[in-house]
């Protein structure tokens, strides 16, 4: 069975790469209730866009939408109309029908809860897929997405655009010596249907792991009306601190403390283009730039933070929340 999955994955990569060499890959979008939809389509479909990324075009979409999430319900029709009017994208009534006319998929639904069910027909259709943040609405669903992806042999990855900002890539390449600790701060607006950090804190959480790498074992969380602070201890004794801002100005930045000095992320345009370029490269090669294990650890970190809050701020092991989610 494992050999068959490997062979299937290799065939999928060859087919997608061969098509990409001849013409633009045809991209389908699931979930038209986020501003990412039209931003990504402009970057891909408009050659005059200053940030244009060549090699793929959005040609099809499935609307999706979540009536109980206010920003989804308010923006779904507006973003759908813009995608049709500005880029001529055809809307399909089902994900299965959309998958028949595309080479790869962007799963963009702003609500993480439907991601598991929405990605199932994509895996069944053997289409490589980028799953936008949050990967899922629970750690349990995130683990199941990873299991199904592995079982189907279909490549996928999920990431925040923060990971690929030029300022982030620059700061992690600075020679600070051995990294002892990192502070990552950023917006942490909360949506009641998701664990607190999943909704918007995922950006600063991923930035923290971009600078620290994997290996977090335990977390402790402090929560106040305006701030969320999660302190993680890594297996080698390093410390990573997530500082989530819920009120007032919400800048984002990482500061790295190393044996040679302290380096701080600079400012840049916060463009989606570097992420889109990584996604297109992924669709062309079938090689994910981020492993499922890395993404799952980020979600285990955020789930453990949720559990620490529930228990009054006691330390919680990532392994414990993973084991609980697998039961």
Final residue of a structural domain among 131, 158, 185: 158
Parent domain of 234: 162-272+299-326
Final residue of a structural domain among 158, 189, 217: 158
Select from 65, 183, 191, 311 the least CA-distant residue to 324. 311
Same domain, 181 and 132: no
Where residue 257 sits, what CATH number does that domain have? 3.30.360.10
Q: How far is residue 305's CA from residue 300's CA, in Å, rounded to a whole number?
A: 8
What pLDDT does residue 131 have? Answer: 98
Number of independent structural domains in the chain: 2
Q: How far is residue 21's CA from residue 65's CA, in Å, rounded to a whole number?
A: 34
Contact (Cβ atoms closer than 8 angstroms) between residue 164 and residue 270: no
What pLDDT does residue 203 have? Answer: 97
Instruction: Give pTM, 2 decimals.
Output: 0.91
Does 61 fall in a domain?
yes
| Residue ranges of the chain with per-residue pLDDT less than 50 | 4-7, 17-18, 20-21
Q: How far is residue 185's CA from residue 183's CA, in Å, rounded to a whole number?
A: 7
Does 294 fall in a domain?
no
What pLDDT does residue 21 have? Answer: 45
What pLDDT does residue 12 have? Answer: 55
Which regions of 188-310 does DSSP assign to beta strands (E)? 216-223, 227-234, 239-245, 253-258, 262-264
Does 285 fall in a domain?
no
Final residue of a structural domain among 127, 143, 158: 158
Average pLDDT, the chain: 93
Same domain, 166 and 153: no
Q: How far is residue 309's CA from residue 312's CA, in Å, rounded to a whole number?
A: 5
Does 292 fall in a domain?
no
């Amino acid at each position: 069975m494992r050999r068959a999955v490997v062979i299937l994955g290799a065939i999928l990569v060859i087919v997608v790469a061969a098509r990409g060499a001849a013409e633009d890959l045809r991209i389908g979008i699931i979930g038209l209730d986020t501003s990412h939809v039209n931003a990504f389509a402009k970057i891909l479909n408009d050659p005059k866009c200053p940030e244009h990324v060549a090699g793929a075009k959005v040609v099809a979409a499935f609307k999706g939408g979540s009536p109980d999430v206010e920003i989804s319900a308010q923006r779904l029709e507006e973003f759908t109309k813009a995608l049709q009017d500005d880029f001529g994208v055809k809307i399909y009534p089902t994900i299965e029908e959309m998958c028949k006319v595309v080479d790869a998929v962007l799963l963009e639904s702003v609500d993480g809860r439907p991601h598991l069910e929405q990605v199932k027909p994509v895996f069944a259709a053997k289409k490589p897929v980028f799953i936008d943040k949050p990967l899922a609405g629970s750690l349990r669903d995130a683990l199941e997405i990873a299991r199904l992806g592995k079982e189907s042999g279909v490549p996928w990855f999920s990431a925040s655009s923060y990971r690929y900002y030029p300022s982030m890539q620059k700061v992690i390449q600075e020679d600070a010596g051995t990294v002892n600790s990192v502070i990552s701060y950023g917006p942490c607006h909360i949506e009641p249907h998701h664990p607190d950090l999943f909704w918007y804190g995922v950006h600063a959480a991923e930035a923290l792991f971009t600078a620290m790498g994997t290996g977090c074992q335990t977390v402790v969380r402090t929560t106040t009306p305006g701030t969320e602070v999660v302190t993680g201890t890594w297996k080698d004794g390093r410390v990573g601190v997530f500082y989530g801002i819920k009120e007032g100005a919400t800048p984002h930045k990482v500061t790295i403390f190393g044996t040679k000095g302290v380096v701080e992320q600079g400012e840049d345009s916060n463009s989606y283009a570097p992420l889109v370029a990584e996604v297109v490269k992924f669709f062309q090669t079938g090689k994910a730039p981020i492993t499922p294990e890395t993404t799952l650890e980020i979600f285990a970190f955020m789930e453990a933070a949720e559990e620490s809050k529930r228990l009054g701020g006691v330390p919680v092991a990532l392994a414990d929340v993973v084991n609980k989610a697998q039961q």
